[in-house]
A and B are shown apart, each in its own frame.
Chain A
Amino acid sequence: MTNILPNLKYTESDEWFDPATGKIGISDYAQGQLSDIVFVEILVAAGDTVEKGTPIASVESVKAAAEVYSPVAGTVAAVNEGLADNPETINSDPYGAAWMIQLEGADGSSMMDAAAYEQSTASRAH
């Protein structure tokens, strides 16, 4: 069963954004689709400014590859440095330890809420 946290905002391309902390990652649904993740590379550094749609990370699993895009504009306050050494965390704890970057001054109010995202993922199931 796909886990969708109520306090987060989401995108059609399966990123999540936490309005409280400014953190960004990929959803439980996304990690399930990718299956076992073996590589992650964060493409931005603290201090960079990102736009909505800027690629922020690259993820590879045993069978697929995906880019992660920033769902919102902002300034990178921090990146999760330890994630690259433990890419499997994205499978085990997508909303917690597997956050990718943290933004300052980002506004996620136009993003999907949990209910809308649940519908989105349900409509994509074949």
Chain B
Amino acid sequence: MTYIPISPKERDAMLATIGVKTLDELFESVPATHRFPKMDLPPALAEMEAAQLLGELAGGNENVRTDMISFLGAGMYNHYIPAVVNHIISRGEFYTAYTPYQPEISQGTLQAIFEYQSLMTALTGMELSNASHYDGATATAEAVNLAFAQFRGKRAKVVVSPSVHPHYRETLRTYTQGMGVTIAGEDSNVSASPAALARFIDDQTCLVVVQYPDFFARIFDYTELINEAHARGALVCVVANPTALALLKTPGSMGADIVVGEGQPLGLPMWFGGPSLGFFTTKKSYVHKMAGRLVGETMDSRGQRAYVLTLTAREQHIKRERATSNICTNQGLLALASAVYLSVMGREGLREVANLCYQKAHYAAEQISQIPGFGLCFSEPFFHEFAVCCPRPVAEINAHLLEHGIIGGYDLGNDYPALKDHMLIAVTEMNSKDEIDMLVEALKEASHG
């Protein structure tokens, strides 16, 4: 009865009010043959024991703050999270509230989401943002849902750049398997310029998906590709890294119709992959086809500025099988965390983070490219990650790095057969020059075998 605040005496009084004698009598509608099954679970732990057990499990990992040095990115990044973020999201007023369906007593959550939406539009250069999706991958899949609905299913082709995150492309394939959508472009050459993708775009294409910076952190201006897509009537979704957007030209200014991405770099822990948040921003003209919750400004009966969930008739609880998506939740608490992060970082702080990532990644790239046998795979400008060709299989190199307490880069051969023996190395503001130098030394050793 760990968290049950009812005494045996109170229980008996309540049973009497109901008109039954025992708790078991409440379950007579459950088939008797299966009622009250035995469950083989470990014996219940006291809080102290649970704290110890979970401490042991957490201690069974090598974490990237105190145990290991990490150069792993590929969609999740080790950034500094200011202390204030965790303090605010640990307020029970925020984390133990439900979806703000009753706006009179939910203005805290509602204004926080409205501000999150505002911050995301400022970052991406778009006209509006929803209250968030599960993660960057599902936000990308929801962009397909939007485009497919926008053309009422009459355009059923999606052109996807091969340098969109492999997990995102896989998720997109899972999501669309019942929709009759064909996916093109994924197998094209990753070394080709984005313009090469244009040949896949035709009058059956509802959406073109590119990543910015791309999975290899290369920075391309997609303006021309977007113009080509628009000329053929297709929409364009740009999957963006939000930290990079502190420095880079916005996808909005390139003409993107939808800008989505993984919000984890904005003050969320990596947490072994989640939960994080997927941001979703678009143009006003697509708002009715966009999935997900949306907060809008209004006024209450006392003349006070206030906020409500709006355009809810788009969503599943009203539109049911005709809704664009079945999504119900948003990543509320994490959208709050990202809003807190962006507000304490501010315009200068976020630029500093992005610039540190850029500087350190470029230092690492310069040093690594000088090691015999190693070389940068691409020549385009890049942000805080870069692909390196290696003299030996990546798994062997990473095993060597691990012995030195270093978690190496992502093995690109997993997803791109043409990039066998290539590693994707991420460097953030958390990596010191000393750590980078250690990596370089360890790679030098590793290159000898």
Contact = CB atoms under 8 A, between A and B. Distances in A.
A117 interface: no
Contact of B313 (A39, A41, A43): A39
A38 B312 CA distance: 11
Q: Is the interface of B mostly helix, strand, loop or mixed?
A: helix
A48 to B, nearest CB: 12
A63 interface: yes
A122 interface: no
Contacts of B152: 43
A38 B313 CA distance: 9
Contacts of A62: 312-313
Interface stretch (B52-60, B80-88, B314-322): B314-322
Nearest to A62: B313
B288 A39 contact: yes
B311 A38 contact: yes
B322 A39 contact: no
Interface in A69-89: none
B322 A60 contact: no
Q: Is the interface of A mostly helix, strand, loop or mixed?
A: strand
Contacts of B288: 39, 41, 60
Contacts of B322: 58, 65, 67
A65 B319 contact: yes
A115 B152 CA distance: 37
A82 B314 CA distance: 21
Interface in B268-313: 288, 311-313
Contacts of B311: 38-39, 60
Contacts of A41: 288
A61 B312 CA distance: 9
Contacts of A116: none
Task: Identify which of B152, B288, B313, B319 gathers the most chain A CB atoms within 10 Å of its CB.
Answer: B313
A61 B313 CA distance: 7
Interface in B164-214: none
A20 to B, nearest CB: 30
A44 B222 CA distance: 33
Interface in B147-164: 152
Task: Identify which of A43, A61, A62, A65 gathers the most chain B CB atoms within 10 Å of its CB.
Answer: A65
B299 to A, nearest CB: 15
A41 B322 CA distance: 13
A43 B149 CA distance: 11
Contacts of A58: 322
Interface in B310-359: 311-314, 318-319, 322
Contacts of A60: 288, 311, 313-314, 319
Interface of B: 152, 288, 311-314, 318-319, 322
11 contacts: A38-B311, A38-B313, A39-B314, A58-B322, A60-B288, A61-B313, A62-B313, A64-B318, A65-B313, A65-B318, A67-B322
Given A38-B313, A43-B152, A60-B319, 7 more contacts: A39-B311, A63-B318, A64-B313, A65-B314, A65-B318, A65-B319, A65-B322
